[in-house]
Amino acid sequence: MRWANARPPLLLLGAAAVGAFLVLLPIGLTILRATEVSGGQAAHFLLRPLVGTLLLNTVCLTAVSSALAIVVGTGAAWFVERTRLPGRQAWAVLLAVPLAIPSFITSYAWISISPALEGFAGAVLVVTCAYYPLLYLPVAASLRNLDPALEDSARALGCGPVVCFVRVVLPQLHPALLGGTLLVALNVLTEFGAFALLRFRTFTTEIYIEYRASFDGATGSLLASILIVLCLFCLMAELRIRGSARYGRIGRGVRRPASLHELGQIKWVVVALLAALVVVTTGMPLITTLYWMTQHGAAAITPAEVSPALLTAATLSSLGYGLGGTLIAMVLAIPIGFLATRYRGRTVTLVERTSYLTQGMPGIVIALAMVFLTVHYLHPLYQSSALLILVYGIQFLSLAVVGVRAALAHAQLGLEEAARSLGLNVFQVAYRVMLPLAGPGLGAAAAMVFIAVVTELTATLLLAPIGTQTLATQVWADTSTLAFAAAAPYAAIMMALSLTASWLLARQFGQSRVGDPAQSHQPSQISDRTAPVA
Amino acid sequence: MIDLTVSNLKKTFGNRTILHAIDLTVSPAHLLAVLGPSGSGKTTLLRLICGFERCDAGTIRIGDEVVARPGLHMAPERRRVGYVAQDGALFPHLSVRENIVFGLSRTERRRGIRANELLDLVGLPQAYADRAPYQLSGGEQQRVALARALAPQPQLVLLDEPFSALDAGLRAETRKAILEALRLAKATAILVTHDQAEALSLSDEVAVLLDGNLAQVATPATLYNKPKNAAVARFLGETNLIPGLIQGRSVDCALGQLALSSELPAGSGEVLIRPEQIRIDPCSEGTSLPATVTAIDYYGHDASISLRMSDLDLIARVSGPLLLRVGQQVGIAIEDPVRAFG
Amino acid sequence: MSLLEHRWSRSNFAGLGVAALAACGLLACTPHPAVAATLVLYSGQHEQTVNMLVSAFEKKTGIGVKVHSGDGPEVAAQIIQEGTASPADVFFTENSPEIAMLAEKGLLAKVDPSTLAEIPSKYNAPDGTWVGVLARENVLAYNPSMIAASALPASLMDLAKPKWKGKIAIAPSDNDFLPLVNAVVVTHGKAAALAWLKGLKANAKIYDDDEGVVAAVNRGAVATGIINNYYWARLQQELGKAKTHSDIYHFSHGDVGGLINISGAGVLKTSKDPKDAQRFLAFLVSAPAQKMLADTPVTFEYPLRPGIAPNPVLKPFNELQPPAISVSQLGDDASVVTLLHEAGLL
């Protein structure tokens, strides 16, 4: 419910506008810097064969890994949602776990067992392993929301199971499939660490190379501008699909739960396939990391030999930055979420939409823009912890806003008004009504941002103050010098943090996705939208 | 069109028996209503006939073909039955026309002539053909769903509570249209419903399903006037069931000695008095029995009057303008003959 | 859901508050090492080498050092961008061109003459703005199972010939590649260098960095690869002799391929603590530090201080036959990136 006509208080609008401004700042700076390059130079730079290669790499990778993810994700979703598979609940959880594993750790796991995985093949493998849940989750949700009467009707009209799937089920999955594919594309575009470790060249890695060659050269901004355009295109397309999708049923009335297909003899084949999938996507990073922990790390190639002191320092600074970044993101997101759930109007929409842009903004672009800004104009912030935390806040603002919005939607205006009529003042309402109702959602949002920050690599790499090491930068430093054994403890701690946080999150806030058919159509708080775009 | 025979059909889910040994026959071009409260197993019966569920025992025969018996389960797509789901289940990604021709072969679909014919049949304008399902009202969606089910010229049409999701005004209109379309198509049909009025007014025959058992299968008039037992009578409409002593062609009860519509063996039993069989005389005099009006539910065309007579609560139905008020003393008389159950 | 919501209410928020406070606490205490930091070192050298040197220096002098690591050209560019506000006191890098660039821009102070005197003058900046610390040699790594040693080219320039198509790996985006291209420009001229690069572009498999090149050669993905010598030594150290399936080939007779890169260090003019910065430079060229660099299996570079024997894995320094290019001839490599763009390698 909203106050349709009321104007939002200026203070609230101002607070929300801070977040929007911070989002637009790096985009503006990047484009401004790109325009410094003269037209001829820019044309020369952009018409290099390399830019074509990067485009081709990105497109091919997106196409191949999306196709694989569609097959894997849809197949898995169908078996989990629509068949009498042994242990459906467990599979539903296990299949979503890869989202909690940072993709550069997946990358590290594969590249450390075989350097042959460098390049395209490895990139396809890592992207598919890391991002297939972006298809699995929305497809599973669509299958759950699909009225089984549609399939019954099609069967009665003479369609066999396969034809029925193709003519009725698949078209209903279109929005989920297309949306998921665009999310994979967005991740491919914005991912840096995983590809850098795989020595696979994409826009982000090339921007990093430009950065390394000239610190903050305008040519890097030129590439970054192209990347921003590509990302925003994907983001808009994705938002559009979500907006126009007619996921819901047309009719009213009570829906019966879908009847589950019997698998019969092939039951164990399917179980074996799913187990293989879990082993490849989740088991591999875990097993490889554990393996390397038992290996002796040669001093020759590790920048700093692993010591308990170093591990503790890196863990503490990761945690510190994680909490700090979460705090900033939530502080920026809460006014936006409040504005979006309670008020209407062009300004409100504009502010909210702007915050979603960060989902399509590669960390490297934000980081580079902020380096430029601070080194030239805000020198006291340059190389400070505050700047890094601020960048985390910007980077994960959309994640936080999505969560905050969902949380505040629980605390409806009507309840607030009822409480006010019972004699509570604004603060009492906040404490006794809003907090208990929106609290779990806000906590979930904070937890998701925390996971994203702790596993963030790119901005940390570029902005960490001199002398600061986090788990992510340590994994990076060791892996890029091929010191896999030395990287293992840091990778293990990072995965443990992320998995524990995700597990607590799921246990505390998640609802069982399968099992209880009466609940199964309720949107889960942990939606597919919350995948960290690192 | 063709007939349907179901014999000794059984279905259990887990350790709950949903259907116990059902025997049922539908004659060609007849509409049979399966009437039962929710949970009685009527939808399961329908899903078994469609082939969406497997039966545990018994046989289902459509025309001359056995579609289910122990060891045989013909897939739903091969049974040539038309199915209309509770809310129509129109494919949201297809237009009205595409929905209607969905079940036709590819070449037939391309010609697309049948869509107009079927829209006519269900009484919808042809301009609707290119609309999306969500642009239609609930009733119109149901008509399209029927058109879609009829398009492949099925042997049998099965309707699963097709009007339950519609509001009252739309329901009457949609019922009429659908009934008309079924008659024109000369379709053999089964309508599953929990609405007595719907079952009685629409169908040629009604099968009452209570707790997984067929309580009675009969024409609407027979069913209403000669229910087989008290449970059927109670389910079929407002009733007054009072204990009585049966003596051959009459029964003794709190309302006096009443004539029975058919002879019964002597013994104690229950007397069924329909609300419309109670006549109310505003002045409590003469032969009538004294009673007090305790409540009046006024519906316009008629009214339902709650009465109390010593320790007995009765419901009567009176039509037209009637000057009664709550608390008023009235006289009542019973129009026999009545039915009783031993 | 409602039960859950009530369970999760205000006490959890108190928890969140505590966590936020903890965050501030963690941030306040973590980034600073135990020693009071005074010097800021901007380094383009390998982190492990620098870490080793820094901890030895801290132990010896009690002066704390904060390190900012990156690639040489990146860090040099960063110092230029930061200008007078740069927090850097010392710049220590892998290859001379990037430090020469800082010298050209007038950002470096003169190095103490006593420090310069420790190193043969041909490895120092002619104007005394930086001191040479280590040297590394450009070599060709090769996989003996794919190509015979006798079939290897006499000159680096040969690798642009069509017969090397698909048999050579390079890492044009690695900053170690830039000085080599610069050397080709110096010895053969710009036009020849561009032609050579175009030939390489046609022939070569492209890798991101020298680590990638040497690993590819070792596993047999490609027959040969242009690298700095110590990458191979480090690979061998990590894998062990048994898993090393590659060897290195030294360009000789003064061929440009045998170029020696000088890793140097200098003090920024803007340093807030020039005295300690000079002490750090003096330490880098001191006998104990140079010996440590030679003896620890970490860097595999040649110590430049006379009389210190390099790691035995390396070919003795005096047996190398590098081209006669001085550090001042090599200069900075500003024009090289343009050449690489033109050749389509970047």
Taking CA atoms, C310 is separated from A105, A508, C217, C281, C292, in Å, by: 37, 60, 25, 20, 10
Name every chain A residue with its beta carbon within 8 A of the beta carbon of C72.
none
- Give the model's pLDDT for residue A175: 81
> Does C123 belong to an annotated binding site?
no
Was domain C136-259+333-343 assigned CATH 3.40.190.10?
A: yes
Share of chain C above pLDDT 90, in %: 45
C209 vs C149: CA distance, rounded Å = 24
A523–C contact, CB cutoff 8 A: no
B335 vs B279: CA distance, rounded Å = 7
Most trustworthy range by pLDDT among A154-158, B176-180, C39-43, C341-345: C39-43
Size of interface A-B (CB pairs under 8 A): 102
Name every chain C residue with its beta carbon within 8 A of the beta carbon of A213.
73-74, 77, 173, 175, 337, 346
- Give the model's pLDDT for residue A296: 67
Q: Is the pLDDT of residue A516 over 60?
A: no
Mutate to test the interface with B, among A157, A241, A246 (most CBs of B within 10 A): A157
- Give the model's pLDDT for residue B142: 86
Name every chain C residue with its beta carbon within 8 A of the beta carbon of A113.
none
A394 vs A275: CA distance, rounded Å = 38
Question: Between these two residues, C142 and A190, which has the higher pLDDT value?
Answer: C142
Provide the residue count of chain B: 342
Cβ of A149 within 8 Å of Cβ of B92? The answer is no
3-state helix/strand/coil string of C50-103 = HHHHHHHHHHHHCCEEEEEECCHHHHHHHHHHHHHHCCCCEEECCCHHHHHHHH
Q: Domain count of chain A?
A: 1
A486 vs A478: CA distance, rounded Å = 6
Backbone torsions φ then ψ of C104, nearest 5 degrees: -55, -40
Of the partner residues C76, C173, C211, the one whose CB lies closest to the CB of residue A482: C211
CA A60 to chain centroid: 21
Peptide bond into A532 cis (omega under 30): no
- Give the model's pLDDT for residue A534: 33
Cβ of B91 within 8 Å of Cβ of A168? The answer is yes
Helix (H) or strand (E) holding C284: helix C274-285
Cβ of A152 within 8 Å of Cβ of B50? The answer is yes
CA A462 to chain centroid: 20
A260–B contact, CB cutoff 8 A: no
* Helices and strands, counts by H and E, chain B: 9, 19
- Give the model's pLDDT for residue B287: 67
Q: Is the pLDDT of residue A513 over 60?
A: no
State which residue of chain C sits closest to A46, comparing Cα positions: C341
Cβ of C46 within 8 Å of Cβ of A477? The answer is no
CATH code, domain carrying A58: 1.10.3720.10
> In which band, very low, low, confident or very high, does the pLDDT at C26 lie, cut at 50, 70 and 90?
low
C262 vs A472: CA distance, rounded Å = 31
Size of interface A-C (CB pairs under 8 A): 176
From the CA atom positions of chain A, what is the Rg in Å?
24
Cβ of B149 within 8 Å of Cβ of A157? The answer is yes
Cα of first residue to Cα of last residue in chain B, in angstroms, is: 41
Taking CA atoms, A334 is separated from A18, A19, A20, C122, in Å, by: 11, 10, 12, 63
Residues A257-266, mean pLDDT to the nearest whole number: 74
Mutate to test the interface with C, among A481, A497, A507 (most CBs of C within 10 A): A481
Mutate to test the interface with A, among C4, C12, C27 (most CBs of A within 10 A): C27
pLDDT tens for A285-309 read 888 888 888 876 554 455 666 778 8
State which residue of chain A sits closest to B142, comparing Cα positions: A251
Share of chain A above pLDDT 90, in %: 8
Of the partner residues A301, A321, A508, the one whose CB lies closest to the CB of residue C8: A508
State which residue of chain C sits closest to A297, comparing Cα positions: C238
The ranges assigned to domains in chain C are 37-135+262-315, 136-259+333-343
Question: Between these two residues, A442 and C303, which has the higher pLDDT value?
Answer: C303
State which residue of chain A sits closest to B140, comparing Cα positions: A251
Q: Do C and B make contact, counting contact as 3+ CB pairs within 8 angstroms? A: no
Residues A404-427, mean pLDDT to the nearest whole number: 73
CATH number of B238-341: 2.40.50.140
A465–C contact, CB cutoff 8 A: yes
Quick one: fold of C37-135+262-315? D-Maltodextrin-Binding Protein; domain 2 (3.40.190)
Lowest-confidence region among A407-416, A515-524, C328-337: A515-524
Q: Chain C: nearest CA to A177, how far in angstroms?
A: 30
- Give the model's pLDDT for residue C288: 92
- Give the model's pLDDT for residue C8: 41
Strands C260-267 and C131-142: antiparallel
Q: Chain A: nearest CA to B329, how far in angstroms?
A: 45
A252 vs A153: CA distance, rounded Å = 16
- Find out whether C186 and C339 touch, Cβ atoms under 8 Å: no
- Give the model's pLDDT for residue C2: 37
A464 vs A470: CA distance, rounded Å = 8
B67-105 in b/e form (b: 16+ CB < 10 A) is bbbeeeebebbebbbbbbbbbbbbbbbbbbbbbbbbbbe
Question: What 3-state class would DSSP assign to C112?
Answer: coil
> In which band, very low, low, confident or very high, does the pLDDT at A167 lie, cut at 50, 70 and 90?
confident
- Give the model's pLDDT for residue C1: 35
Residues A14-37, mean pLDDT to the nearest whole number: 88
A159–B contact, CB cutoff 8 A: yes
A398 vs A209: CA distance, rounded Å = 28
> In which band, very low, low, confident or very high, does the pLDDT at A531 lie, cut at 50, 70 and 90?
very low
> Does C231 belong to an annotated binding site?
yes
State which residue of chain A sits closest to C336, comparing Cα positions: A213
Q: What is the pTM of this model?
A: 0.76
> Does C46 belong to an annotated binding site?
yes
> Does C249 belong to an annotated binding site?
no
Share of chain C above pLDDT 70, in %: 89
- Give the model's pLDDT for residue A229: 87
- Give the model's pLDDT for residue C188: 92
Question: What 3-state class would DSSP assign to C300?
Answer: coil
Q: What percent helix, strand, coil does chain A show, rounded to 5?
A: 75, 0, 25
- Give the model's pLDDT for residue B112: 67
Backbone torsions φ then ψ of B226, nearest 5 degrees: -125, 65
- Give the model's pLDDT for residue C181: 92
Name every chain A residue with its beta carbon within 8 A of the beta carbon of B89.
147, 149-150, 152-153, 251
- Give the model's pLDDT for residue C115: 93
Place of tokens 């597919």: A528
Cβ of A251 within 8 Å of Cβ of B165? The answer is yes
Mutate to test the interface with C, among A111, A113, A212 (most CBs of C within 10 A): A212
Strand order in the sheet with B278-281: B278-281, B329-334, B289-298, B302-309, B312-319
- Give the model's pLDDT for residue A525: 32
Neighbours of chain B (3+ CB pairs under 8 A): A
Cβ of B93 within 8 Å of Cβ of A150? The answer is no
Structure tokens at A143: 């299958």
Name every chain B residue with its beta carbon within 8 A of the beta carbon of A149.
85-87, 89
The ranges assigned to domains in chain B are 4-234, 238-341
Nearest to C234 by CA among C191, C298, C323: C298
C141 vs C152: CA distance, rounded Å = 10
Nearest to C266 by CA among C122, C104, C120: C104
State which residue of chain A sits closest to B162, comparing Cα positions: A253
- Give the model's pLDDT for residue A247: 41
Q: Is the pLDDT of residue A160 over 50?
A: yes
Collect all residues with Cβ–Cβ distance below 8 Å to B107 and sequence separation of at least 6: none
Q: Is the pLDDT of residue C9 over 60?
A: no
Name every chain C residue with its beta carbon within 8 A of the beta carbon of A383.
68, 87
Name every chain C residue with its beta carbon within 8 A of the beta carbon of A316.
26, 29-30
pLDDT tens for C304-322 read 999 888 888 888 888 888 8
pLDDT tens for A452-476 read 898 888 888 888 888 788 888 888 8
Q: Chain C: nearest CA to A469, how far in angstroms?
A: 8
Q: Is the pLDDT of residue C240 over 60?
A: yes
Question: Between these two residues, A514 and C207, which has the higher pLDDT value?
Answer: C207
Structure tokens at C215: 């690993």
Q: Is the pLDDT of residue A188 over 70?
A: yes
Name every chain A residue with its beta carbon within 8 A of the beta carbon of C238.
298, 300-301, 482-483
Residues A506-522, mean pLDDT to the nearest whole number: 44
Cβ of A246 within 8 Å of Cβ of B134? The answer is yes
Quick one: fold of B4-234? Rossmann fold (3.40.50)
Cβ of B89 within 8 Å of Cβ of A168? The answer is no
Continuous H helices in A215-358 = 218-244, 267-278, 284-293, 308-342, 346-356
- Give the model's pLDDT for residue B321: 64
- Give the model's pLDDT for residue A511: 46
Cβ of A251 within 8 Å of Cβ of B92? The answer is no
Q: Is residue A366 part of a domain?
A: yes
Name every chain A residue with its beta carbon within 8 A of the beta carbon of C77.
213-217
- Give the model's pLDDT for residue A328: 93
- Give the model's pLDDT for residue A111: 82
Of the partner residues C33, C77, C337, the one whose CB lies closest to the CB of residue A467: C33
Name every chain B residue with its beta carbon within 8 A of the beta carbon of A163.
77
Q: Which residues form the domain of A121?
A: 10-248+264-282+297-530
Structure tokens at B141: 């969606």
> In which band, very low, low, confident or very high, does the pLDDT at A244 lie, cut at 50, 70 and 90?
low
- Give the model's pLDDT for residue C290: 93
Question: What 3-state class would DSSP assign to B240?
Answer: strand
Q: Chain C: nearest CA to A386, how far in angstroms?
A: 10
How many other CB atoms are there within 10 angstroms of residue C286's CB atom?
17
> In which band, very low, low, confident or very high, does the pLDDT at C92 lie, cut at 50, 70 and 90?
very high
- Find out whether C343 and C109 touch, Cβ atoms under 8 Å: no
pLDDT tens for A328-377 read 999 999 899 888 888 878 888 888 888 888 887 888 888 888 888 888 88
Question: Between these two residues, C186 and C28, which has the higher pLDDT value?
Answer: C186
> In which band, very low, low, confident or very high, does the pLDDT at C114 lie, cut at 50, 70 and 90?
very high
For chain B, the residues whose C-beta falls within 8 A of a C-beta of chain A are 43, 47, 50-53, 75-83, 85-94, 102-103, 133-134, 138, 141, 145, 148-149, 151-152, 154, 158, 161, 164-165
Q: Is the pLDDT of residue A506 over 80?
A: no
Question: Would you write out chain B's pLDDT as a tens digit for each of its 342 residues?
Answer: 578 999 999 998 888 888 998 999 999 889 999 999 888 888 899 989 988 888 889 999 998 889 998 888 888 888 888 888 888 888 888 889 888 888 888 888 777 678 888 888 888 898 888 888 888 888 888 889 888 888 888 888 999 888 887 777 888 888 888 888 888 888 899 999 988 888 888 899 999 999 888 989 999 988 888 888 888 888 887 888 888 899 888 888 888 888 888 888 888 888 988 888 888 887 766 667 888 899 888 887 788 899 998 888 899 988 866 678 888 888 888 887 888 887
pLDDT tens for A474-483 read 888 887 776 7
pLDDT tens for A60-110 read 988 898 899 999 999 898 888 888 888 888 888 888 888 888 888 888 888
Collect all residues with Cβ–Cβ distance below 8 Å to B300 and sequence separation of at least 6: none
Cβ of A250 within 8 Å of Cβ of B133? The answer is yes
Collect all residues with Cβ–Cβ distance below 8 Å to B229 and sequence separation of at least 6: B215, B216, B341
Q: Is residue A254 part of a domain?
A: no
C54 vs C265: CA distance, rounded Å = 14
Strand order in the sheet with B213-218: B81-84, B156-160, B189-193, B31-35, B205-210, B213-218
